[in-house]
Amino acid sequence: MIIDCHGHYTTEPAGLGVFRDRQLAGLVDATRRPTTTNLGITDDEIRQSLEGAQLKLQRERGTDVTIFSPRASGMAHHVGTAQTSAEWTRICNDLIHRVCTLYPRNFVGVCQLPQSPGVEPRRCGEELERCVTELGFIGCNLNPDPSGGYWRDPPLSDRWWYPLYEKMVDLDVPAMIHVSSSCNPCFHATGAHYINADTSAFMQFLTSDLFRDFPTLKFIIPHGGGAVPYHWGRYRGLAQDMKRPPLSEHLLNNVFFDTCVYHLPGIELLTKVIPIDNILFASEMVGAVRGVDPQTGHNYDDTARYLHQVAALSDQDRCKIFEGNARKVYGRLNSYLERRERLSPVESTA
Ligand SMILES: [Zn+2]
């Protein structure tokens, strides 16, 4: 089985953007606020938005299930107030739920959180619980920098975040560390801000005792872990200088990396440096890099292809990366997969 742990709804029907434009216009002129949260999006529009994109790619690439969340750059927690974020988050999560209901064999949901700069993360607990217990979601995307590139909130190791972590542990859901768009012109969103955040989150974990306080808390660091695997010696050495335990004990029961690295040498390095048990298959399609690599003739984000090409991986290693590790990290994935087993293939494309 191939489980892609990192997919966003980047092909949403136009109704979502129309609502967002009105919501943002309403921040400067209250008369332009949307009068309803009903997007007017039909099931057929949702089907159309996926058939030529994510579903087509799933079929072509042999992906069985995508762990699916709202468009990451669209979260834009820095825009408007906490109320703006809460309203927008609920709408985006509900739309993911509709996708997962229409295609229960293809998608299982991960939610965005109603974060807002300077607002305590404890306030995200209610929406997380709603998504997990009512909508059947199995994780969340946690933005370590809701300010959108200015890093104004405390680091992930701060007690500021603890009430949200307590909720995650209670619900048995992991978080993918995922920033949103950048409003800092120094940081290109997907090329710099994303990778910076992945790297920064890892270092925040390294310098803290977070996982002594939360031994079962789990995070996925996407985009191959940012700069971390490439600089693994630096991080091991820094931990050693700081009298921290070896990274294998200190972080690797709790921190996992995805495979959104868009070339073979990068995947070779990732799978050589990071223990196989800590790597989860992902492509982030349809996402950050949509083109075809002229050197290979294949899409950059066709990451399964690279994993099949790494000669050093055994079949067992690939099995863990494609399926087994996701089942361990997402505590609620197994029961979803059991329900999925009972669905007929016909229902999947209803
Ligand atoms: Zn992403």
- The confidence band for 346, taking pLDDT boundaries of 50, 70 and 90, is low
Residue among 12, 127, 284, 323 flagged as catalytic: 284
How far, in Å, from the CA of 60 to the mean position of ligand 1?
21
How far, in Å, from the CA of 284 to the mean position of ligand 1?
6
The pLDDT of 252-271, averaged and rounded, is 98
How far, in Å, from the CA of 30 to the mean position of ligand 1?
32
Identify whether 284 is a catalytic site residue: yes
Q: How confident is the model over 26-62, as pLDDT tens digits? A: 999 999 999 888 999 999 999 999 999 999 999 999 9
- The confidence band for 344, taking pLDDT boundaries of 50, 70 and 90, is confident
Residue 54 makes CB contacts below 8 A (sequence gap 6+) with 7, 9, 11, 66, 68, 106, 107, 285, 286
The per-residue pLDDT for 288 is 81
The Cα–Cα gap between 232 and 274 comes to 8
Neighbours of 93 (CB within 10 A): 25
How far, in Å, from the CA of 31 to the mean position of ligand 1?
34
The yes-or-no verdict on residue 321 having pLDDT over 60 is yes
Tokens matching residue 127 = 């929406």
How far, in Å, from the CA of 74 to the mean position of ligand 1?
11
Shortest CA distance to 10 belongs to which of 84, 86, 69? 69
The yes-or-no verdict on residue 349 having pLDDT over 60 is no
| Amino acid code (one letter) for 2 | I
The pLDDT of 187-215, averaged and rounded, is 97
Q: What angle do CA 254, 259, 264 make, to 5 degrees?
A: 140
How far, in Å, from the CA of 164 to the mean position of ligand 1?
21
Mean model confidence pLDDT for the chain:
96
Q: How confident is the model over 227-247, as pLDDT tens digits? A: 999 999 999 999 999 999 999
How far, in Å, from the CA of 308 to the mean position of ligand 1?
22
